[in-house]
Structure formats: C-alpha cells, structure tokens
Chain A
C-alpha cells in the first residue's frame, strides 16, 4: 500500500471524513481551515475559510451537499461543498468538539466542551438539505452532561438514539427525541477518556477508542461489549472497515510526551485487527507523530489517517488486503454458497 501524502495542513490533524461515495475526503486541523480532497489521487478540491479557532471536527451529509464543522471559536458552521460558501453559523458558549449528521441528514448533533463554568452539552440542530434554504437558528434539543462531559457522540440507526462517549470512559445512550438518558455503561477503564466513536455501516453497533489502550465494539441495543482489541499504546481513533471484517486503530504516545520519544517508541502506526477474531493482522507505519484520526472509505477501497505531525496519508487497499481471509472464513463462505 503506497500512501498518498497530503501536506495541506500546517498543524495537527483533528478529524478526517469520507463522503458516502468515498470519492471525497474532508479534513480538519488545528490550523483553522477545512480541506476537501479527491480520494483517488489526493488532489485538493478546495478549502473552507471562516473559522477563527482550531477546528476540531467535520462531517459531511449523506448526499454530499454540505459539510458541518465545529471549532474552538465556539461555533458550528454549515458549508456548501461545491461553492465553499458558509451557509450558517451557530454560536455556542464553549468549543465544539464533535459534529455528526443523522443518517438521513436531517439533523445535526454538536458536542460542546465543559469550560468556563458551562457544563458539557450535546446540542441537536435541524438541517434542511438544500443550499438555498434558510437554516433554523434554533437548537431543537440540548442534552446536558451533568456527571462526566461527553467527548464524542453519534447517531444510532433510524436516528433513534444518541450514543455519547464520556471523559470517564463510560458510554451513554440518550433518546434522540426527548434527550432522556436511557443507559450509561462503563465500557472502558475508569477515567480513561473515550477518544472516538465510529459506526458500522448500518449504525447498529459502533467502535470506541480510548486512552486505556483498547478499542471495543459495542452494540447499540444494550450497550454490550461485543469485541475488545487490546494494544500497547493509548488510542485516539478507531473505525470499522466495510466489505472486510477488520477494524483500524490509530494512536500513539501522547502528544505531550512526543518530544521525549523517538518514532520507534511512539508506536505511531495504524493497526489492523480482525473484527471478529480480535487478532492483530498488520500495521502501517509512516506518521512521525501520534495518529489523531483514522477514517475508512465507506465503499471499502482505502483508508486515510491524520497525525499530530500535520499530514494526511491516504492508502488504497491492495490485492493482498482483499485476498486476506482466515481458513474458517473461507470455509464458512463455501458452506453458505452450497
């Protein structure tokens, strides 16, 4: 897998997102602008200017019409992908750490930071998927996290629930209509922050990444841990690959301690695990800082990673990746065909 190195950012990457078709990549970094790239050759499509602080998060709607971004300037902005125009700005009391569209693109959630006397919240906004439409300024629902602030959140299947990962290592399930907390389960070790939540394709289960050096697959129904992947380094991001039953984990020695460690000890590698057997399959090296975010093409053709080193690396999966199967998988497949 020969990567394409994208050198469009000047500072550490914060999030990478593919659109549904997997042909565009959106990346945010602490350098205040969003970049859009062609996934197949790494050419830059454009940048979105307007934020006044470090960007923390980006998401693209399912129709690839607009993107939403959240930043340290306490705003969420909605952009027209094609024109690069800012369509709407919502102001908040604190920085926005995560945004995500619901599966039909009609709603947006934003996770706000706990700071300056404000508690962390998850805010829901209604979105009209039309670049010409007037977007409502009103927040349709606000969920306040009284106990431990939410660090990441996302929409479940049918937009029924909101799943949030907390700083204390627990995962909560909220009713997306009423905002009522249905469940809270300590998934990871106590007080090891959950750093990422990414969904399976049908949003019935998700993967969490945590500073406790493990990633876990959890199902939405009862927040039961289905699988655990244990590594030797704190994790910042994890995603589930479509087409193949793998997961990709990214992390590395904390950014704070990076200056004291060589690339060797930093463990700045993307790790591939088999989703079902929980076994490590391979690693991809290349970054010289911890991986802050990994994202996989929803069509399963490749993946991208963004590091503290300011680079995005796009990898197209090669034949070996698609050919790799366990004996039992082949047998099961053969049995199914009979």
Chain B
C-alpha cells in the first residue's frame, strides 16, 4: 500500500507523547552535512623555499605559472602565511575552482622540482586532515603479520599422467564452458575439469603449459595445479590481449582502452599507470613492472580517398628475448627500445635509433656464434630503401648493441624475418619488384648464424610470390607455399604450389647448400604445420570455403630414395591425405605424436568439432562439438634430460616401445572384451524379453480363440491348379556378324 497522510500519527492526538525522546543519532550520523567536503578544492604545497613579506609575491607569481597548468588559480587564492619572524613556513594553501582540478594537481604537480634545491609536495588539504592529524595514525610501528606458509600444489603435476601413459592434455572452449581433457587417441577423451563461464573472451596456455589463462573484464587470471586453483590475478581492466615471455616469468597485457585509475586507488596498478595501454607484469610476484602507452604509429600515408591508412596493430608488441632477459618494442620507422628485465629500464638508458626500421625479431634461442664467447642475444631487423640508400637487413647483438652483420638489398617491396627454432638460421623472405613495379618475385636470403662471419646464401629461382614459409623445428629444412598471382580479393583464391627444400649432402660436418627437393603444383594449400619434433609436416588448406585438404608429409621416409634425390638430406614422401570440412585451426600436440584439426564457431557457423590424427595422417577420432571456439593442446616445458640421456633413450627405443606396445594391446583387448561382454548382455536381455512377450501374445490369442496368425485366414485360398505359369522368353542378340562367302 502506498503511504499516505491518513496513516501518519496525528500530533494532536492524545496518545502522542511529546516528551518521548527519540534517538536520532543514527540518522544524524548518516545525513549530517559534511563540511569537510568544501575543502576538497584546497591543496597544500610543501617544500617551498623560505620567503619574506617582500619576496612572497614573487614566489606566488612563479608558483602560479605551474599551478595554472592544471586549473584556474588566481593570485589571491594562494595563501602563504608568514610566521611571527616575518618568514614563511615553506608551505602554501591553494584553492582551485573544482575538486577535480585539485585532484589532478595532486597527481601531476606532486614531486615537480622548482629548482635544484626545491621540490613541490602537493597534497589535498583533506588528506592532510585525514592522515596528518595527531592520533589518526599509530605512532608505533607494528610489523605486518606474516602469513603462515602453506604448501602450494605442484604446478607441473600433469606431466606425470596418472595412467602412466604420458598422455597430453588439451583445453576446449565451447559455448560458455571451458574444459580440459586427457587425449585418449581413439577413445573418448577423459575430462579432467569442466567449468561454465571460466573465461569471458578466450583462453590461452602459458608457453610451457604451467598456467591456463582466462580473460575477464577485470583482468587476467592464471589457473593451474591438479585442482585447477587460481594461481595469479592481473587486474588490467578491459584487457584484450595477453602475451607471455617464453620462460613464463613475465606477462604483457594490453587493452584498447586506456587504464583509468579510480580516485580510491586500484588494487595492483598505481596512479602513474593512468592512461596507459600496456602493462608488463612479473608473474611470480603478481606485481606490475612497468606500464606503457600505445605506440604512436606514424601514419602510413593516405589512401586514394585521402583517408589515413590504418595500420594493423603488431602483436605481440613487446617481444621477448629467448632467455627472458630483455624485452623490446619497435617504434616503426625510428627505433627499437630494448628494456632490461626485471628492472624494465632501457639498456644503456637509450633507445636504439635505426632509421626506417620496419620490423625486428629476436632469435628464438640463445645464439652461439662461431668465435663469440661472451653472452649475447641477437635480434634481426630490416629497413627499406630510403632515398638512394639500399634496403638493409641487420643482426644486432645485445647488450653490446653491435651490428654483427648487415646485408644490402635492392628493389625491396617487403621483407619477412623467419628464425629457425635453434637460431642456427635466419631466413629473410624478400619480395622484390621489377623496375616497372608491376611484377613481384621472391628471394630467400638465408643467414647461417652459427657459421663464421655469418655467411648469407641466396635461394632464388622462385618465380612466384612466396605466401608462406616455415622452417623445420630444430632442423634445417623448410617448406614454402607460392602463388603465381598476387592475392587479390576475389571469391576464388588462386592456386598455390608447395615446395620443399633441404641442404645438400656434404663431406664431413657442416651443412650444404639449400636445394630444392620437389614442388607440388595446382594446390589450394595455404598453411604449413611442422611437427614440433621436426621430420613430419602437415600442409593444409584452412579457413577456406572450397577445400579442406590436409596432407601429411614425411621428410625422412624410410623407403627407397629416388635416384634424383641421392645428394639431398631428405627423402620426401606424401604419407596420407585427409579432409576436414570447415577446418580453421590445426595444431600438433607438444610431443609430435598427434595432430588435432578443429573447426571453430568463431569462423565457421556449422559442423564445428575436432578431428584427431596420428603423425602419419591416420584419422583416430572425429568428434563434433557444438559451438567449439578453441581447441588448444597444453604445451610442455622443455625436457630436463641431458643430451646424453636423450641419446640413451633413443638408443633403447626398441625396448621401450615393446613395453608400450604390449600395454596398448592389453588395454585394447580389455576394452574390446568389455564391449563384447556388454553386447552379449544386451542381446541376452533382448532375447529373454522377446521370448516372454511372444509367449504372452500366443497365450492371449489362444485364450481369445484366435488363430496364431491374424491375417492368414483372411486371404482366400487360391486353388493351386488355377495358378498360371507365365513364361517370358527374351531373346538377346549378343553378336551379329556378316560374312560374304565368296
């Protein structure tokens, strides 16, 4: 019922007791006018030089210049009291027009130097009231309580597969659920954990598989351990992208929205992070190391309509050196900033100026150049032609900042940098234009980083443009995909060719020149997926409308080698082909035993799910998963066995495999046995049920006096003699020849 005046007690009424004391204290407390709020526009400036009556206006004038940068301050709103001795107390009160201006003044002017000796300390008057008043803060230091040590779960427990089979895990993000499964090859995957709404936009594994990353509007969370507990939180609001350092020590987060630190602070970020886009975090401590604004991308000029061309954002923007020691960011066309970790300070306190620099890439492993004994990390970069200077590819050593190798190139349209996983080679894919700038051709400039003087070998003779390139991991062979036409936005993608290269055989140690093995023409392939252990490679057509081929190649086929390839260090063989309708993503498991292909609802609206193949391309499993968004194998950390131990394992492989094969066979047999047993039971149950039903029916018919067959008596018996036999003789001429008898 709505309140109305009828229900209010009438003060005239007798039962109203005027003397009754009402306790308003709670209301008073709540609604009392807070006079202090009026002081929000005041700030207190400490750390000023001592002045006298005469010099005071001069200082105020000087201060106003600084203060007016934030908001409007008039001369008479700066109040600088003088003491009895006619000298100032080295502080001043300033009144701004609004509390907001006062707040920004505290943020921006605090710590600003006036001259060499004096530094302003700007605080809100209310803060001084709040914290500075005597008794508000305990004068005695009480040490913070140390929390009891509790042992955390082992973050790498998953490597010891409870079934003892060394299986791998994968994560799936489908509809709103995230689940993590053991891969069971042919059999249904075993779900370890499934949680609804575990993430808000996507999931990501850390590079060594320790953490599963979930992304939320409030920030990023890392999960791990056998019970999948939350390990860390990185509260970067509205985070869009996440990038880990290769050793899982640091993490970069990026949001397209600038960070805004609320008035009352932020649990992890500080006031100086306000307005920034990138944050680099230390994973172990969970603390931010440094934040950065978005790089100002110089406009790439205007397009035909006069609008500035928008450049795609480079991700990862901050690139890590292989050992988590440095992180670097490119300012396109100008410089590369290399920061030391974990201090996040510029190496030598200077950015590395490289005029025109387009792109750079760290060596993915700590390089070991011939004759170089000191510690170094390498990165390569390239610069386009500027004026009459040629385009350049350079290798720079950090921390010495020495350019160890450069290569001049002409007529360059674009270049791509591809490191081999051990940093033994660097391939620079150079797209060159002819003089008329009409046709394009590609050459591959391969730097042999580990050899003395870093010699460069050129692989040319490629007439078409190379659209994809991939090194064999830990190997020295590569696959390229070329296309004759320059990819134009047409409905039918152009035909492509897939070419394989390997080094020539040479006497003694060393690697021979790179030679072409074979090219397969008239393909639709657009993607190359090497097994993480090398040797096997999948060439596929992904995210295409028309074709969905997967081709499994072996580079070291154990069969006969064609005569023409006898000088090559490879024996190429197509092992198998497969098709997965609507395939969008392909990923090898970290051990190189299986390939999972998936079709994500983000890219294809129907028939979502994943297929599992073994390395030979044999399909093991096909599983439709409605609304699957991501399928991600859990990466593994690098092996802890030494080279010698690994060699020993390889030597005794036959013995080990015998044991495993036996185990597999036993498990298969017992599974088969269970299936057969289940079927037998089903069959017996069915037969027994049928038997009783049939018996009941027969009995019921008999009781009703009906014949056993309900229909037989209805059909009129036809006299056998009336039956006619109709014979149809069909003559067929098999052959007809005419001979003229002379």
A residues with CB within 8 A of B: 20, 62-63, 103-105, 129, 157-158, 202, 204-205, 219, 221, 226, 232, 261, 264-265, 276-277, 326-329, 331-332
**Min CB distance, B708 to chain A, in Å?**
11
CB contacts (< 8 Å) of B308 on chain A: these are: none
Q: What separation, in Å, do the CA atoms of A205 and B676 have in the docked complex?
A: 26
A264 and B581 in contact, given A202-B694, A328-B683, A332-B683 (Cβ under 8 angstroms): yes
CB contacts (< 8 Å) of B581 on chain A: these are: 264
A326 and B679 in contact, given A219-B693, A232-B624, A265-B606 (Cβ under 8 angstroms): yes
CB contacts (< 8 Å) of B683 on chain A: these are: 276-277, 328-329, 332
CB contacts (< 8 Å) of A327 on chain B: these are: 676
Is the beta-carbon distance between A103 and B711 smaller than 8 angstroms? yes
Closest residue of chain B to A106 (Cβ to Cβ) is: B714
Q: What separation, in Å, do the CA atoms of A202 and B683 have in the docked complex?
A: 19
Tell whether B682 is near chain A: CB-to-CB under 8 Å.
yes
Is the beta-carbon distance between B697 and A157 smaller than 8 angstroms? yes
Closest residue of chain A to B712 (Cβ to Cβ) is: A62
Tell whether B686 is near chain A: CB-to-CB under 8 Å.
yes
CB contacts (< 8 Å) of A205 on chain B: these are: 693
CB contacts (< 8 Å) of A276 on chain B: these are: 679, 682-683, 686
**Min CB distance, A23 to chain B, in Å?**
14
What sequence of 0s and 1s flags, for each residue 567-579 of chain B, a beta carbon within 8 Å of any chain A beta carbon?
A: 0000000000000
Closest residue of chain B to A336 (Cβ to Cβ) is: B687
- The listed residue (A103, A157, A219, A277) touching B679 by CB distance below 8 A is A277
Is the beta-carbon distance between A158 and B711 smaller than 8 angstroms? no
Is the beta-carbon distance between A105 and B624 smaller than 8 angstroms? no
Closest residue of chain B to A158 (Cβ to Cβ) is: B700
Tell whether B2 is near chain A: CB-to-CB under 8 Å.
no
Tell whether B710 is near chain A: CB-to-CB under 8 Å.
yes
CB contact list, B679-707 vs A, under 8 A: 679-680, 682-684, 686-687, 689, 693-694, 697, 700-701, 704, 706
Q: What separation, in Å, do the CA atoms of A62 and B713 have in the docked complex?
A: 11
Tell whether B27 is near chain A: CB-to-CB under 8 Å.
no
Other contacts beyond A129-B714, A332-B680: 16, CB < 8 A: A62-B710, A62-B711, A63-B714, A63-B715, A103-B711, A157-B697, A158-B697, A158-B706, A158-B710, A202-B694, A264-B581, A276-B679, A276-B686, A327-B676, A328-B683, A329-B683
B residues with CB within 8 A of A: 581, 606-607, 624, 676, 679-680, 682-684, 686-687, 689, 693-694, 697, 700-701, 704, 706, 710-711, 714-715
CB contacts (< 8 Å) of A202 on chain B: these are: 693-694, 697
- B interface: dominant SS: helix
Most chain A beta-carbon contacts within 10 A, residue among B607, B700, B701, B711: B711
A277 and B682 in contact, given A105-B714, A265-B606, A327-B676 (Cβ under 8 angstroms): yes
Is the beta-carbon distance between B697 and A20 smaller than 8 angstroms? no
- The listed residue (A104, A204, A232) touching B693 by CB distance below 8 A is A204
CB contacts (< 8 Å) of A265 on chain B: these are: 606-607
CB contacts (< 8 Å) of A226 on chain B: these are: 686, 689
- The listed residue (B624, B684, B711) touching A20 by CB distance below 8 A is B711
Is the beta-carbon distance between A103 and B714 smaller than 8 angstroms? no
CB contacts (< 8 Å) of B704 on chain A: these are: 158
Q: What separation, in Å, do the CA atoms of A232 and B686 have in the docked complex?
A: 26
Q: What separation, in Å, do the CA atoms of A202 and B698 have in the docked complex?
A: 10
Closest residue of chain A to B679 (Cβ to Cβ) is: A328
CB contacts (< 8 Å) of A103 on chain B: these are: 710-711
Q: What separation, in Å, do the CA atoms of A158 and B581 have in the docked complex?
A: 50
CB contacts (< 8 Å) of B714 on chain A: these are: 62-63, 104-105, 129
Q: What separation, in Å, do the CA atoms of A129 and B710 have in the docked complex?
A: 14
- A interface: dominant SS: loop
CB contacts (< 8 Å) of B694 on chain A: these are: 202, 204
Is the beta-carbon distance between A63 and B711 smaller than 8 angstroms? yes
14 pairs, A vs B, C-beta closer than 8 Å:
A62-B714, A103-B710, A103-B711, A105-B711, A129-B714, A158-B697, A221-B693, A226-B686, A232-B624, A276-B686, A277-B682, A277-B683, A328-B676, A332-B684
**Min CB distance, A40 to chain B, in Å?**
14
Closest residue of chain B to A102 (Cβ to Cβ) is: B710
Is the beta-carbon distance between A104 and B700 smaller than 8 angstroms? no
**Min CB distance, A269 to chain B, in Å?**
15
**Min CB distance, A214 to chain B, in Å?**
15
Q: What separation, in Å, do the CA atoms of A332 and B711 have in the docked complex?
A: 31
**Min CB distance, B630 to chain A, in Å?**
22
Closest residue of chain A to B624 (Cβ to Cβ) is: A232
Is the beta-carbon distance between B697 and A332 smaller than 8 angstroms? no
**Min CB distance, B502 to chain A, in Å?**
39
CB contacts (< 8 Å) of A264 on chain B: these are: 581
**Min CB distance, B384 to chain A, in Å?**
46
**Min CB distance, B224 to chain A, in Å?**
35
A104 and B680 in contact, given A204-B697, A265-B606, A276-B686 (Cβ under 8 angstroms): no
Most chain A beta-carbon contacts within 10 A, residue among B581, B694, B706, B714: B714
**Min CB distance, A267 to chain B, in Å?**
10
A328 and B680 in contact, given A63-B714, A63-B715, A129-B714 (Cβ under 8 angstroms): yes
CB contacts (< 8 Å) of B687 on chain A: these are: 332
Q: What separation, in Å, do the CA atoms of A20 and B712 have in the docked complex?
A: 11
Q: What separation, in Å, do the CA atoms of A129 and B680 have in the docked complex?
A: 45
Closest residue of chain A to B686 (Cβ to Cβ) is: A276
Closest residue of chain A to B676 (Cβ to Cβ) is: A328
A158 and B679 in contact, given A103-B710, A204-B693, A232-B624 (Cβ under 8 angstroms): no
CB contacts (< 8 Å) of A204 on chain B: these are: 693-694, 697
**Min CB distance, A258 to chain B, in Å?**
14
Q: What separation, in Å, do the CA atoms of A204 and B581 have in the docked complex?
A: 43
Closest 10 CB pairs of A and B: A62-B711, A328-B679, A103-B710, A276-B686, A328-B680, A204-B693, A63-B714, A104-B710, A63-B715, A276-B682
**Min CB distance, A173 to chain B, in Å?**
16
Q: What separation, in Å, do the CA atoms of A63 and B700 have in the docked complex?
A: 23
CB contacts (< 8 Å) of B697 on chain A: these are: 157-158, 202, 204
Q: What separation, in Å, do the CA atoms of A157 and B706 have in the docked complex?
A: 12
Q: What separation, in Å, do the CA atoms of A157 and B683 have in the docked complex?
A: 23
CB contacts (< 8 Å) of B607 on chain A: these are: 265
CB contacts (< 8 Å) of A63 on chain B: these are: 711, 714-715
Q: What separation, in Å, do the CA atoms of A104 and B708 have in the docked complex?
A: 12
Q: What separation, in Å, do the CA atoms of A265 and B701 have in the docked complex?
A: 48
**Min CB distance, A163 to chain B, in Å?**
15
Closest residue of chain B to A219 (Cβ to Cβ) is: B693
Closest residue of chain A to B704 (Cβ to Cβ) is: A158
CB contacts (< 8 Å) of A105 on chain B: these are: 711, 714
A104 and B711 in contact, given A232-B624, A328-B680, A328-B683 (Cβ under 8 angstroms): yes
CB contacts (< 8 Å) of B693 on chain A: these are: 202, 204-205, 219, 221
Most chain B beta-carbon contacts within 10 A, residue among A20, A261, A265: A265
Q: What separation, in Å, do the CA atoms of A202 and B695 have in the docked complex?
A: 12
Q: What separation, in Å, do the CA atoms of A146 and B149 have in the docked complex?
A: 69
CB contacts (< 8 Å) of B676 on chain A: these are: 327-328
Q: What separation, in Å, do the CA atoms of A36 and B92 have in the docked complex?
A: 107
Q: What separation, in Å, do the CA atoms of A63 and B709 have in the docked complex?
A: 13
Most chain B beta-carbon contacts within 10 A, residue among A20, A129, A276, A327: A276
Q: What separation, in Å, do the CA atoms of A247 and B676 have in the docked complex?
A: 21
Q: What separation, in Å, do the CA atoms of A20 and B687 have in the docked complex?
A: 25
**Min CB distance, B691 to chain A, in Å?**
12
Q: What separation, in Å, do the CA atoms of A261 and B607 have in the docked complex?
A: 12
Q: What separation, in Å, do the CA atoms of A327 and B677 have in the docked complex?
A: 11
CB contacts (< 8 Å) of A329 on chain B: these are: 683
Q: What separation, in Å, do the CA atoms of A282 and B704 have in the docked complex?
A: 42
Q: What separation, in Å, do the CA atoms of A62 and B680 have in the docked complex?
A: 36
Q: What separation, in Å, do the CA atoms of A90 and B684 have in the docked complex?
A: 47
Q: What separation, in Å, do the CA atoms of A117 and B218 have in the docked complex?
A: 56
Q: What separation, in Å, do the CA atoms of A277 and B686 have in the docked complex?
A: 10
Q: What separation, in Å, do the CA atoms of A153 and B680 have in the docked complex?
A: 33
Q: What separation, in Å, do the CA atoms of A326 and B624 have in the docked complex?
A: 27
Q: What separation, in Å, do the CA atoms of A329 and B686 have in the docked complex?
A: 12
Q: What separation, in Å, do the CA atoms of A105 and B713 have in the docked complex?
A: 12
CB contacts (< 8 Å) of B706 on chain A: these are: 158
